[in-house]
Amino acid sequence: MLLTFSHAVDTVNRWFGQLANVLILLACVVSAGNALLRYGFDLSNNWPLELQWYLFGAAVMLGTSYTLQQNGHVRVDIIYGNVSDRARLWIDIFGLVVFLLPACALFAWLSWSTLFLPSWDILEHSSNAGGLPRYPIKFILPLGFFMLVLQGLSELVKRFAALHGDIQLDTHYERPEQ
């Protein structure tokens, strides 16, 4: 049952990772379009710049859980690169339980209660002329941290399943070139 949960979370975060890629592309298109309007036609407005920031911010927050799933986050390899696969699984479990899950759960809660909800209550908009609503992008922060918590739980399930011998995880570690 836990592996089914893990698979479901992985599937959702894989979709968010693909969405993050599209958001980066859209941010680039908006940036180019804004430059064309500003310098080609001498038209200036704040919403394209704000939209570019929103797209990039959403890409970062929605892509971080996919990055964790793909084992793409930075590691301190002083210890990790010199131990057995089984020890790497235990190091991952320790890091997930002690650092990632508590921090991300706290950030999800705080960003929901002190950032998004107050903005939603007043339907906050940018103070810039022609600016965009702020509450939709402020929702992305708690959503991103929540999805990172779910992915952390998924990774925890997979690590324990690998220790138990139920699944095989690729624990191959490549040292960065120096």
C-alpha to C-alpha distance for 162 and 170, rounded to whole angstroms: 10
Query: What does the block give as tokens for 38?
Result: 């500003």
Q: What pLDDT shows up at residue 115? A: 94
Q: What is the pTM of this model?
A: 0.84
Query: What does the block give as tokens for 169?
Result: 């995880």
C-alpha to C-alpha distance for 44 and 87, rounded to whole angstroms: 56
C-alpha to C-alpha distance for 161 and 155, rounded to whole angstroms: 10
For 38-89, the pLDDT digits (tens) are: 655 655 667 778 888 899 999 999 999 999 998 877 766 677 778 888 888 8
SS3 112: helix
What DSSP string describes 2-58?
A: HHHHHHHHHHHHHHHHHHHHHHHHHHHHHHHHHHIIIIIS----SHHHHHHHHHHHH
Query: What does the block give as tokens for 27?
Result: 């941010």
**176 pLDDT above the threshold of 60:** no
Query: What does the block give as tokens for 47?
Result: 């919403």
Query: What does the block give as tokens for 108?
Result: 């999800």
